[in-house]
Amino acid sequence: MALVPCQVLHAAILLSYCSILCNYKAIDMPAHQTYGGSWKFLTFIDLVIQAVFFGICVLTDLSSLLTRGNDSQEQERQLKKLISLRDWMMAVLAFPVGVFVVTMFWSIYIYDRELVYPKLLDNFIPAWLNHGMHTTVLPFVLIEMRTTHHQYPSRSCGLAAVCTFAVGYILWVCWIHHVTGVWVYPLLEHLSPGVKIIFFAAVTIVINVFYLVGEVLNNYIWDTQKCHPLLRRGKGKRRQTQDKKY
C-alpha cells in the first residue's frame, strides 16, 4: 500500500512535465527557429531530464508491481537495472541540474531579469508556464527525494558525471556563439573573455556542490539511525530480502 501514493505522485508529476513541454514547444518564439532551437536552453534540457526521470520512475513502479510475488530472476534483474538507472539519474542529473536551474534563474532574475529572461518573453510565455519551468522543478525533486530512497553512486563517479554534463553544456553554448555570433544568455554578452572563464568555472563548481547537497540530503533523510523504529525495521526487512535474492 505504501507504493500506491508514490505511483500516483510519479504519474502526476510526469503528466505535469509532459504538459509543460507540449505547451512550451507550441509557443512560436523566434528563439526556437534559430540554431540549436530549444536545445540551447538549459531550462528546456532540464525539463526533458525531469520528464525522462519521472518516466523511468513510473516504469519502475509498474515493473515492481508486475514482478511482485514473481520468482522470475530475469524479471528481478531487469527491475534492478531500472532501479539503478532511476537512482543514477536522480543523483547525477535530476537533482543537481534541477536545483541549479531554479536557483540560478531566480537569483539572476531578481538581480536583473533582462540578463536571463527579458521582459519581451512575457508576450510569449505565460506566468504559469514560467513557474512550471523554473519553480515547480525544485519542490517536485525534493518530494521525490523524500518519498523514495535513492542509492547514490560513488562520489568520484558521481562528480565526474556531473562535471561531464556541465562542461558539455558549456562547450555547447560556446559552439552556438561560434556559429551564430550570439550568446544564448544575454548575461554572457556583458562579460569579458577572462570573466567568462571564471563564470563557467564557478557554474561547474556550483552544480557539483548541488550534487554533494543532494547526496548529503538523501543520506540524512534515509539514515536508518534517525528513522522511526518501524521504518527502520521495515527497511531492515527489505535489505534482508534483497540479500537473499541477490
Tens digits of residue pLDDT in 169-224 = 999 999 999 999 999 998 999 899 999 999 999 999 999 999 999 999 999 998 84
Per the CB < 8 A criterion, the answer to whether 180 and 119 are in contact is no
Which pLDDT does position 159 carry in this prediction?
Answer: 96
Average the pLDDT over 109-116 and give the result.
91
> Across all residues in the chain, what is the average pLDDT?
87
pLDDT at 233 over 90: no
Q: pLDDT tens-digit profile of 4-40? A: 478 899 999 999 999 999 999 888 888 888 899 999 9
pLDDT at 234 over 70: no
Count Cβ neighbours within 10 Å for each residue of 83-98 and write b for 16 or more, e otherwise. beebbbbbbbbbbbbb
Half-sphere exposure of 81 (CA within 13 A, CB side): 6
- The set of cell numbers assigned to 224 is 536508518
Per the CB < 8 A criterion, the answer to whether 176 and 134 are in contact is no
pLDDT at 1 over 90: no
- CA separation, residue 19 to residues 12, 13, 47, 139, 165 (Å): 11, 10, 11, 17, 26
Which pLDDT does position 3 carry in this prediction?
Answer: 45
User: Which residues fall within 8 angstroms of residue 145, CB to CB, at 6 or more apart?
Assistant: 90, 95, 214, 217, 218, 221
Which pLDDT does position 230 carry in this prediction?
Answer: 40
Per the CB < 8 A criterion, the answer to whether 17 and 55 are in contact is no
Average the pLDDT over 154-166 and give the result.
96
Identity of the residue numbered 210: F
Pick the more confident residue, 97 or 67: 97
pLDDT at 226 over 60: no
Grade residue 69 by pLDDT with cuts at 50, 70 and 90: low
Which pLDDT does position 40 carry in this prediction?
Answer: 94
pLDDT at 109 over 90: yes
- The set of cell numbers assigned to 126 is 505565460
Q: pLDDT tens-digit profile of 30-57? A: 888 889 999 999 999 999 999 999 999 9
Q: What is the pTM of this model?
A: 0.86
Which pLDDT does position 102 carry in this prediction?
Answer: 96
Which pLDDT does position 68 carry in this prediction?
Answer: 75
pLDDT at 229 over 80: no
